Amino acid sequence: MPADEIKLEEGIGNIGRGTSQSIKENGFCGSPEVVLLIQKVIAETIGTYFLVFLGCCVVVLNGVEESKGMISFPGICVTWGLAVMILIYALGHISGAHFNPAVTVSFAIYRRFPPRQVPLYLAAQVLGSVLASGTLYLLFDVTVDSYFGTVPKGPYIQSLVFEILTSFLLMFVVSAVTSDDRAVGELAGIAVGMTVLVDVFVAGPVSGASMNPARSLGPALVMRIYDGFWIYIIGPFCGAILGASAYNLIRFTEKPLKEIGHNSSFLKSMSKVSSFRM
């Protein structure tokens, strides 16, 4: 086994032993690691809640009779982009501002997020989306015309391709601005927010531009509308994983091409075991 991988595994083991010792000394709820994890989960729940609430609220307002057409499609796109940008700057330093199961899983695959925290993040994101959708359902008389979920506007395969492509671009940009030391990290929120804005402009009229399984799941559960729902699970996950893979493939390295080709663990050795931080 290569020396760098041995050191990496030793580091993970030391982290695990340190966490266990801290829990034994301070109790489960008194452990700094547990407290930090709870803070991250709460941040993900709040962030996903407001992302879904703000983005979907303008969809409802643009569809209900009292304010029909007042916001317009460009207004919806801008709201989604600004909401993402604001929440990244507000919560990125706490939880990493994933707000998206596809992003969380993609980071975990490339060892930029602890796999053991993935279930908690996914649960927090789904909970935030369901709560936001429930809030909108209680505040407005939502009809089929003002439905704030995502449903295919045309053939299923067309919507699936759009979801894969937009999720690919989103995760590609996220990987670039958050995991590469050469990128300007302070501009991460703007870059990701503008990517979401462009994606919604392009894919909104076709698939609804979900790019986020939690964003689609919440409204679907609350409104019990599951038309083409599988698209918004498969599309974002496939697109995000492919986007992360593509950026990891072109990421800067000083290793020679020969070593990259013969070392199957190259991508793993290039990754760092750390949380997604803005």
Per-residue pLDDT of the chain (278 residues; tens, 9 = 90+): 444 433 333 343 444 444 445 445 555 566 888 999 999 999 999 999 999 999 999 999 988 877 787 889 999 999 999 999 999 999 999 999 999 999 999 999 998 999 999 999 999 999 999 999 999 999 998 887 789 999 999 999 999 999 999 999 999 999 999 887 777 778 899 999 999 999 999 999 999 999 999 999 999 999 999 999 999 999 999 999 999 999 999 886 655 544 544 443 433 433 443 344 43
Question: Which amino acid does the sequence have at 39?
Answer: Q
Please state the CATH superfamily assignment of the domain spanning residues 31-270 in this structure: Glycerol uptake facilitator protein. (1.20.1080.10)
Answer yes or no: pTM beyond 0.85.
no
For 123-156, letters b (16+ CB in 10 Å) and e give: ebbbbbbbbbbebbeeebebeeebbbbbbbeeee
In the chain, what are the helix, strand and coil shares in percent, each to the nearest 5? 75, 0, 25
Instruction: Specify whether the CB–CB gap between 201 and 207 falls below 8 A.
Output: no
Instruction: Specify whether the CB–CB gap between 58 and 82 falls below 8 A.
Output: no
- CA geometry: angle 106, 11, 266, nearest 5 deg: 50
